[in-house]
Structure 1
Amino acid sequence: MPILTVFYLKLIINLGLTLGIIWTISRSELFAKWQLEKDKQIFLLAFVIFRLIPWIGIFLVINEDPRGDIPFFFYKAEAAKKGGFVYRDFWSYHAPLYAYIISLPVWIWHNARAIVLFMVLMETGILWLTYQTYKERSVKALQLAVIYLMLPAAFMYILVDGQEEVWFWGAALLIWRYTLKNKENYEVGIGLLYALTLLTIKVTFIFLLPALLVVVKRPVKMLLVMAAVGIPAVGFLYWQIGDLFLMPIQHTEQLMTPNLFSVTRPWVELVLHINEKKSTMINWFGLLFTVFVPVYMAYKARHKHINEVLPGIFIACFVCMMIFQASAMGAYVIAYLMAALFEIIDIRKTGHIAVLIALNWLTVVQPFVWVYIGQPAYTSPAMFANPLFLFEYLLQIMNVLCFFWILRETYRKVVLSPKLSVA
C-alpha cells in the first residue's frame, strides 16, 4: 500500500478514535458503574475492539507487512531463535535479553506479525496492571483504560509499528507496586527489579536511577543489590564478546525530532555551527538536563514516601528525555503516555483533554511529515521560506510545548501536592 494512502488512513482512524475518546469522556457515570459491576468484561471488550480486531484486519485480512522497527526486531528474534549471541552474532540496540524475549512468539509463528501481536499483548498486560493499581484510587480508572486504548499515538505506534517503549512504564509500575506493598525495607526488591530491567529492555531506563536514589531511604543498599546482579552480567558479556555489549550506546548519536534542540537549532546556527557527525556533546549536554530536572523534583519531594512520587518522577524523567535529548523522537511518547493519562490528566478539564488529544495527533502526524519532506535539519531561519518546512517546524514547536505542559503538571503533582499518609 502506498505510504500516502497509509497516512490518509491513519488520519481517518485518528479522527474515529478521537470521537470515541470524546464519547467515552462524556460517559463518566456509566464507566464508574461498569468499574464496580463488570470491569473485566468491559476491559476485554475494549481490547477486542481496539487491538485484536484491528490487528486481524491489518495483518491478516489486508495482509500488510509490519512497519517501523518490526523488521529489525524480527531480524534479531530470528538470530536469537537460531542460538546467536547478542551483539556478537547480530546487531541490537537493546539490552542483552531483549532479543531472546521477542523471539518467544517467533517460536510459535515464524512471522514478523507475531512480534506485533506480542507487543500488543504486552501493552495490554501493562494496561491491565495499571488499571488494577489505580482502580482503588479512582472511580475513573476503567474509563481511563478504555481512553488509553483509543489514544492515536498508542494505537499507531504499538498496534501498527510494534514499538516497545511502553515496557519502561511496565517496569516502573512493577517497582511502584512493590513499594506500595512494602512501605519499609523495599530497597532489595526494587534493586533487583531495576537491575533486571536494565538487562531486559534498554539502557535508557538508567535515566530514572539518579532521581530514584534521591527518594529511596537506603540508596547505597539499593545500589549494592543492583551491582550484585549487574556486575556478574557485565563480566559475563565482556568475557564472551569484549566491549561489543556497549553497542546500545551508539544508538544515541543520531539527531532526531521533535525536541528542544531541533526547534532551537535554526537560531542556534546563527551563532554556532552544529556538526551532525559529531553530535555526542549535544546529547551529553541534553543528558545533564534529562537527569537534573527529575533529580531536582525528587529532592523537592524527598519528604514524601517513594510510593507517592514514583509515577510522577518516571513521567518527568522520560518527558525530559524527549525535551532535552537531541536524539529523542516522537515515538518515545509511548514510554510515559499511559502513566501520564492515569497520573496527571484530569478528564474533567477541557484544557487537559485538549493537550492530550493534540499530543497524540502531533505524535502521529509530525514524524510522517518530517520524513516525507526529506527529514530536513533546520540550520537557518531562511529555510522557512519553504511552506512545507515551516508547517513541519510549527508541528515540532507544538509538540515540544505539549511536552513542557506535561512536565509542568507533573511537577505540580510531585512537588506541590500535599503529602499523603503511608500508614
Structure 2
Amino acid sequence: MPILTIFYIKLLINLGLTFGIIWTISRSDVFARWQAENEKLIFGLGFVLLRLIPWIGIFLIVNEDPRGDIPFFFYKAEAAKKGGFVYRDFWSYHAPLYAYIISLPVWIWHNSRAIVLFMVLMESGILWLTYQTYKKRTSNALQLAMIYYMLPAAFMYILVDGQEEVWFWGAALLIWRFTIKKPVDYEVGIGLLYALALLTIKVTFIFLLPATLVVVKKPVKMLLVMAAVGVPAVGFLYWQIGDLFLMPIQHTEQLMTPNLFSITRPFVETIIHINEKKSTLINWFGLLFTVFIPAYMAFKARHRHINEVLPGIFIACFVCMMIFQASAMGAYVIAYLMAVLFEVIDIRKSIHVVVLLAVNWLTVVQPFVWVYIKQPAYTSLGMFGNPSFLFEYALQILNVLCFFWILKETYRKVVYSENLATA
C-alpha cells in the first residue's frame, strides 16, 4: 500500500479516535459508575476494541508489514534468539537485556508481527497498573484509561509502529508504587528497580536519576545499591566485548525533529554553521537543561515525599528531553504521554483537552510530513520560500509549544500542588 495512502488512512483513524475521546469526556458520570462496578469488563473491552481487533485487522486481515523500528527490533530479536551476544554479534541501541526480552514472543511466533503484539500487551499492562494506582486518587481513572487507548499518538506509535518508549513510564511507575507501599527506607528497593531498568530499556532513563536523588531521603544508599548491580554488569560486558557496550550512546548523535534546536536552527545558522556530523556538543548542551530543570523542580519540592512528586518529575525529565535534546524526535512523546494524561491533564478544562489533542495530532502528522519532504534541515530563513517547508516548520513550532505547556503545568503540579499521593 502506498505510503501516502497509509497516511490518509491514519488521518481518518485519528479523526475517529478524536470523536471517541470527545464522547468519552462527555460521559464522566457513566465512567465513574463503571469504575465502581465493572472496571475489569470495561478495561477489557477497551483493550479488545482499541488494540486487539485493530492489530488483527492491520496485521492479519490486511496483512500489512510492521513499520517503524519493528524491522530492526526483529533483526535484534532473531539474533538474540540464536544466542548472539548483544553489541558484538548484532547492533543494538538499547540496554543489553532489551533484545533478549523482545525475542520472547519470537520464540512463540517467528514473525515481526509478534513483537508488535508484545508491545501492545506491555502497553496495556502498564496502563492497567497506572489505572490501579490512580483509581485510589480519582473517580475518573477508568475514563482516563479509555481516553488513553484512543489517543492518536499511542494508537499509531504503539499499535502500528510497535514503539517501546512507554516502558520508561512503566519503570518509573514500578519505582513510584514501591515508594507508596514502602514510604520509609525505600532506597534499596528503588535502587534495585532503577538499576534493572537501566539494564532493560535505554540509557536515556538515566536522565531521571539526578532529580530522583534530590528527593530521596538517602541518595548515597540508593546509589550504592545501583552500583552493586550496575558495576558487575558493566564489568561483565567490558570483559566480553570491550567498549562495544557504549553503542547505545552513538544513537544520540543524529539530529532529529521537533525540538528547540530544530526550530531555532535557521537563526543559529546565521551566526554559526552547524556540522551535523559533529553535533555531539549540541546534545551535551541540551543535556544540561534536560537534567537541571527536573532537578531544580525536585529541589523546590524537596519538602514533599518522593511518592507525591515522582510522576511529575518523570514527566518533566522526558518533556525536557524532547525540548532540549537536538536528537529528540516526536515518537518520544510515548514515553510520558500516559503519565501526562493521568497526572497533569484535567479533562474538565478546555485548554487541557485542546493541548492533549493537539500534541497527539502533531506527533502523528509532523514526522510524516518531515520525512515526506526529504527531512530538510532548516539552515537558512530563505528555505521558507518553499510552502511545504514553511508548513512543516510551523508544525514543529506548535509541537514544541505544546511541550513547553506540558512542562509549565507539570512544574505547577510538582512545586505548588499540595495534593498528596495515597497508598
Superposition TM-score tier, normalisation by shorter sequence? over 0.9
Q: Which residue of 2 is the match for residue 365 of structure 1?
A: 365
Distance 1:406 1:422 in 2: 24
Which 4+ residue blocks in structure 1 deviate beyond 4 angstroms?
none
**How far is the alpha carbon of 1:214 from its aligned partner?**
0.1
Structure 2-normalised TM-score? 0.99
Q: How does 1:163-312 map to 2 (within 5 A)?
A: 163-312=163-312
Match of 1:347 in 2: 347
Q: TM-score, normalised by structure 1?
A: 0.99
Q: Deviations over 1:118-155 (max 9, x none)?
A: 00000000000000000010000000000000000000
Matched residue type, 1:345: I
For the residues of structure 2 that align with 1:359 and 1:199, how far apart are their CA atoms?
30
Code of the aligned partner of 2:221: K
In structure 1, what is the equivalent of residue 414 of structure 2?
414
Matches of 1:254 and 1:234, distance apart in 2:
25
SS at match of 1:336: helix
1:419 Cα deviation after fit: 6.2
For residues 327-384 of structure 1, the C-alpha deviation after alignment (integer angstroms, 9 at most, x for no partner) is 0000000000000000000000000000000000000000000000000000011100
Q: Work out the CA distance in 2 between the residues paired with 1:90 and 1:273.
A: 35
* Structure 1 match to 2:154: 154
Distance 1:79 1:253 in 2: 25
SS in 2 for 1:120: helix
Structure 1 residue 38 corresponds to structure 2 residue 38? yes
Q: Does the 8 A contact of 2:157 with 2:334 survive in 1? A: yes
Aligned to 1:71: 71
| Residue identity opposite 2:104 in structure 1 | L
> How far apart, in 2, do the equivalents of 1:395 and 1:204 lie?
26
Asked if the contact 1:305–1:422 (Cα under 8 Å) also holds between the matched residues in 2, the reply is no
Give, as a single letter, the amino acid of the residue that structure 2 aligns with 1:325. Q
Report the AA paired with residue 23 of structure 1: W
Q: Return the letter of the residue paired with 1:126.
A: I
Would the alpha carbon gap of residues 409 and 199 (structure 1) be closer, same or farther in structure 2, given more than 3 Å must change? Answer: same
1:421, CA displacement in angstroms?
8.2
Q: C-alpha deviations, 1:283-302, integer Å up to 9, x for none?
A: 00000000000000000000
1:51-102 CA distance string (max 9 Å, x none): 0000000000000000000000000000000000000000000000000000
Shift of 1:420: 3.5
Instruction: Show the counterpart of 2:84.
Output: 84
Q: CA RMSD in A?
A: 0.8
Name the CA distance, whole Å, in 1 between partners of 2:177 and 2:231: 26
Equivalent residue, structure 2, for 1:28: 28
Task: Report the identity percentage.
Answer: 84
Tell me how many residue pairs correspond in the alignment: 423
Gaps of 5+ in 1: none
Distance apart, 1:272 and its partner CA? 1.1
2:135 is matched with which residue? 135
Preserved CA contact (<8 Å) 2:136 2:422: no
- Return the alpha-carbon distance in structure 1 between the equivalents of residues 38 and 277 of structure 2: 56
State the AA in 2 paired with 1:280.
Answer: T
Measured in 1, the distance between the counterparts of 2:37 and 2:195 equals 39
Matched with 1:125 is 125
Q: Residue 328 of structure 2 corresponds to which residue in structure 1?
A: 328
Q: Tell me if 1:17 matches 2:25.
A: no
